[in-house]
Amino acid sequence: MALPTLPTSPVADPAAVVQGEHYRITVLTDGLLRLEHSPDGVFEDRPSTFALHRRQPVPEFRVVDRGTHLEVVTRRLRLTYDRGPFTTSGLSVAVLGAVTSWHSVWRYGQDEDGRNLGGTARTLDEADGAVPLEPGVAGLNGYAVIDDSTSLLLTDDGWVAPRDDARTDLYVFAYGHDHAEAVRALYAVSGAQPVVPRWALGNWWSRYHRYTADEYRALLTRFRAAGVPFSVAVLDMDWHVTDVDPAIGSGWTGYTWDRELFPDPAAFLADLHARGLRVTLNVHPADGVGPHEEAYASMCAALGLDPSTRDPIAFDVTDEAFLTAYLDVLHRGLEADGVDFWWIDWQQGAHSRVAGIDPLWMLNHFHFLDSARDGRRSLTFSRYAGPGSHRYPVGFSGDAVISWASLAFQPYFTATAANIGYGWWSHDVGGHMFGAKDDELATRWVQLGTFSPVLRLHSSNNPFLTKEPWSFAPEHAAVQTDFLRLRHRLVPYLHTMNHRAAREGVPLVTPMYHRWSRHAEAYRVPGQVAFGSQLLVAPVTAPRDPASVTAAVRAWLPDGTWVDVLTGLVYDGGRELVLHRDLTSVPVLAPAGALVPLDAADVPGDDPVEPAALEVLVVVGADGAFTLVEDDGTGDGLDESRVARTPLAWDQAAGVLTVGPVAGAHGFLPATRTWTATFLSVADGVRPVATVEGGTVEPVVARTADGRMRVTVGDVPVDATLRVGLGEAPALRPNDVAGRVHRVLDAAQVGYELKSRVLDVLTSGRPLHVRLSHLAALDVPQALRAAVEEVVLARVTA
């Protein structure tokens, strides 16, 4: 079998190159330079693990020869170079339109002094809180560098070659504070994120546990009965034979089903598929192939070895023949039985028999490309292996310690990975090992997982470490179930963002400073993230206060009006604030004009296919637009002939939501759909009118206590236009301050008389400053006081 290859365009346009005998400068974009120095005058034009596409449209630039040095100038940067070996004094890049008053000049060899905003890390294995991050392409000083001098090279035949480490090969990003554009430049040179399969966006069930086939089936049946959806079934290492003679292996590596646990693997996998799930198996490949494996003789035949010796076949990722057989023999039969993709659990470091060849990168690269056979959409599941790894999702972040510190680090860790283009992290939701049972911690982790790239429950091999919702107290089980359902309801939005990530170079989860880079506040909320184009999320990562029974999280709301889509509370933006939430909620905020499509089912199915009923959350107050993107699930997802786009538009002045008609291919969609427009916190008194293709229809209208108004229209052809009107310029309703304060106080664990006094003070109708100063004089626990003040001050301009 020939090894699969990636499309590459590694040779830059000569018009973008400034070259001397020992140096070469390539202007890849107006903010990205490739800087090479070669003592022997030989330069590298093969693609590397990082740089696949150096042939970019040539930007405008000038070359100025100052005699003693060269200058290369674009609209974003000025390079100054003395034409000699790279030195701190002889090579610099100044960021134009200075982002700082004194630090916006990069000099070769000079430390960034911690001003890089960080990228990501190879693994969170055994992390209890924060870990050091490798650098990304965004920096507070306006520049960042990727050193590509030692990365692997890709050869024309699909194999790899190590570098000559005598040459220097740097990529200098000088985008100022245009961090999102720096990431897009990274994608342009390194390759885009792929479109992941739609089903990967649902919930993943995983546990390191010695399941039998019947136990696993029974568990899935119970999940379905409880209305807890899962789209991916993960089987950890005990799917294969683990009781192995130590002379031939450790038992961690295996390719032979344990027939005592799974007597009929193909039937078991077929049953999981029939339930709507896809399946991945864990593989630790480091021990190679022992003589006990069912595939041993076939591997020997493929490699020209004598099976009668019974010698183990060593794992050698530097041997092309072994890697070819590894894919074509070891994995192919298991895939024929129904394995959809592989969890590559490589923990043995970055070294191999050939210096510079990282086994993890090799496994990620070749597994991912191999998984695209027969028109399938590629997917693999493995650890991060350096710049360029974004091409091989999904990332397995490793075995984090169960602790509040680990939970608190993960939102930041997930968002910052966008700075190196790594958009599809999957964490062990709930933590992996050690720690102690903490139902609240587990619930908050599920909520974080709901608003993460991938939600995967997982835990270590411990009989007490389980993640089924019913293994927690009823209060927590109910909340976890609600959020696991919400995750599947979010798939229409998530899959649209999946396409956006691949086509526009914007990861699903990004730091706030990617969109508001010139606001200092955006850098002061490291745990708050943009979750796609329509939502901001501030995950709760600290336990509840015992008096207020709420947990607090610091947040920043940019200018404008914002609505919490889970609670309906309306906020004035343009400020930093502390948000308080009870166990049932986390801050998920949408601006005026936001449109968020959801699966309308209260209890979605396991396979998150294109739903026949959709709900659109609408925040009135400003114009909004969103295009729902769906595809037929085949190929790489980028073929427009297989993509359907349904436009959604909100016209604030007219007060009209327009849905459709669908554009592009839509034979894979339901012929008709039921649409529910849910207007969040909309003012009372509006009377919705619905039309389909110009004819008025009678919608079903429902109001809820939190101000939601649901307008449902059934049997709308996908190629028709639906309009739902509320009347001109509808407004958001004023917050029900008295009702919300009452609910906060009712739950608070404080004296009844104090509750009454606080409620009387805050609902007295006296001027706001008088009420707040009176509140300050009462003996109210600080957390409770802050929680009620949040409600009172959420919106004071209405």
Are the CB atoms for 505 and 514 separated by under 8 Å? no
pLDDT at 247: 86
DSSP letters, 355-414, are TT--HHHHHHHHHHHHTTGGGPPP--BB---STTGGGS--EE----BSSHHHHHHHHHHH
pTM for this prediction: 0.97
Write the pLDDT tens digit of every residue in 385-421.
Answer: 999 999 999 999 999 999 999 999 999 999 999 999 9
Percent of the chain with pLDDT strictly greater than 90: 93
Q: Between 3.40.50.720, 2.60.40.1180, 3.40.50.460, 2.10.70.10, what CATH number should domain 610-725 receive?
A: 2.60.40.1180
**Residue 34 banded pLDDT, cuts 50, 70, 90:** very high
pLDDT at 100: 59
**Residue 328 banded pLDDT, cuts 50, 70, 90:** very high
Please state which CATH class domain 535-591+734-793 belongs to: mainly beta
Rounded Cα–Cα distance for residues 736 and 715 (Å): 36
Write the pLDDT tens digit of every residue in 647-677.
Answer: 999 999 999 999 999 999 999 999 999 999 9
CA angle 179/182/183 to nearest 5° reads 90
Rg (CA), the chain: 28
**Residue 618 banded pLDDT, cuts 50, 70, 90:** very high
Write the pLDDT tens digit of every residue in 145-192.
Answer: 999 999 999 999 999 999 987 899 999 999 999 999 999 999 999 999
HSE toward the beta carbon, residue 491, CA cutoff 13 A: 31
In sign, the C-alpha dihedral spanning 491, 497, 501, 503 is: positive
Q: Which residues pair with 679 in a beta bridge?
A: 618, 709
Residue 775: how many other CB atoms lie within 10 Å:
17
pLDDT at 797: 67
Residues in the chain, total: 798
Task: Find the mean pLDDT for residues 427-452.
Answer: 97
Q: 């991916």: which residue's tokens?
A: 232
pLDDT at 99: 61
pLDDT at 147: 97
Q: Is the pLDDT of residue 798 over 80?
A: no
Write the pLDDT tens digit of every residue in 473-504.
Answer: 999 999 999 999 999 999 999 999 999 999 99
HSE toward the beta carbon, residue 624, CA cutoff 13 A: 25
DSSP letters, 408-450, are HHHHHHHHHGGGGT---EEEEET-SBSS---HHHHHHHHHHHH
The 3-state secondary structure of 679-740, one letter per residue: ECCECCCCCCEEEECCEEECCEEEECCCCCEEEEEEEEECCCCEEEECCCCCCECCCCHHHH
pLDDT at 722: 97
Write the pLDDT tens digit of every residue in 43-98.
Answer: 999 999 999 999 999 999 999 999 999 999 999 999 999 999 999 999 999 999 86
pLDDT at 589: 98
Q: Which residues pair with 703 in a beta bridge?
A: 709
Q: CB-based contacts of 474: which residues, under 8 Å, 6+ apart?
A: none
Rounded Cα–Cα distance for residues 140 and 523 (Å): 10
Query: What CA–CA distances, in Å, run from 607 to 46, 101, 194, 596?
Result: 42, 53, 21, 20
Mean pLDDT in the chain?
96
Rounded Cα–Cα distance for residues 776 and 541 (Å): 27
Q: Is the pLDDT of residue 706 over 70?
A: yes
Rounded Cα–Cα distance for residues 104 and 93 (Å): 9
Query: What CA–CA distances, in Å, run from 616 to 420, 490, 665, 666?
Result: 32, 11, 22, 19
Write the pLDDT tens digit of every residue in 200-230.
Answer: 999 999 999 999 999 999 999 999 999 999 9
Rounded Cα–Cα distance for residues 474 and 480 (Å): 10
Q: CB-based contacts of 639: which residues, under 8 Å, 6+ apart?
A: none
Task: Find the mean pLDDT for residues 522-530.
Answer: 98
Q: Is the pLDDT of residue 101 over 70?
A: no
Rounded Cα–Cα distance for residues 96 and 77 (Å): 5
3-state helix, strand, coil in the chain (%, to 5): 25, 25, 50
pLDDT at 165: 79
pLDDT at 695: 85
Q: CB-based contacts of 62: which residues, under 8 Å, 6+ apart?
A: 71, 72, 73
Host H or E run for residue 785: helix 782-793
**Residue 704 banded pLDDT, cuts 50, 70, 90:** confident
Domain boundaries, the chain: 14-190, 535-591+734-793, 610-725
Q: Is the pLDDT of residue 102 over 90?
A: no
Are the CB atoms for 661 and 719 separated by under 8 Å? yes
Tokens of 58: 């040539």
Superfamily grouping for domain 14-190: glycosyl hydrolase (family 31) (2.60.40.1760)
Q: Is the pLDDT of residue 253 over 70?
A: yes
**Residue 103 banded pLDDT, cuts 50, 70, 90:** confident
**Residue 311 banded pLDDT, cuts 50, 70, 90:** very high
pLDDT at 98: 63
Q: Is the pLDDT of residue 1 over 60?
A: no
